[in-house]
Amino acid sequence: MDLNIAFGQALRKIRASKNLTQEDFSTVSSRTYLSSLERGLKSPTLEKINQLAGTLDVHPLTILVATYVARDANLGIEGLFHTIKDELAGMSSFQDLSQ
């Protein structure tokens, strides 16, 4: 699945689970832009993902994890987290950042 499509599906599902409308995002985005994101027509910046997450009251990584779970359905959430954990553990420079 295309990454923009997966992001749009994830965003729409999280928004619906929070019982929010597209209009509820008016402080961070126009309804037209949000609709474009949900349809996979546009790619958000990291700053926009952070703003959307604030409105959704979720961590920005929640949106991204949901995106990649949708895109790589065969991997699943546990597989995705296992991959991330292994990759981060293998980066000695990342260990320095967390201290």
Confidence of residue 94 (pLDDT cuts 50, 70, 90): low
- Please tell me which residue, 32 or 97, carries the higher pLDDT value: 32
Using the predicted structure, report yes or no on whether residue 98 has a pLDDT greater than 80.
no
Q: Which residue has the tokens 């409105």?
A: 55
Query: What gap in Å lies between CA 99 and CA 83, rounded to an integer?
Result: 22
Averaged pLDDT score across all residues of the chain: 92
Query: Does the pTM exceed 0.75?
Result: yes
Residue 44 CA to residue 78 CA, distance in Å, equals 25
Q: What is the pLDDT of residues 3-40, one digit of tens each?
A: 999 999 999 999 999 999 999 999 999 999 999 999 99
pLDDT cut 70: percent of the chain above it: 92
To the question of domain 3-97 being in CATH 1.10.260.40, the answer is yes
User: How is the chain split into domains, by residue range?
Assistant: 3-97
Q: How far is CA 5 from CA 24, 47, 76, in A?
A: 21, 19, 17
pLDDT given for residue 97 in this prediction: 58
For range 56-72, the mean pLDDT: 96
Dihedral sign of CA atoms 44, 61, 40, 80 in order: positive
Instruction: Record the tokens describing residue 75, joined without a space.
Output: 């991997």
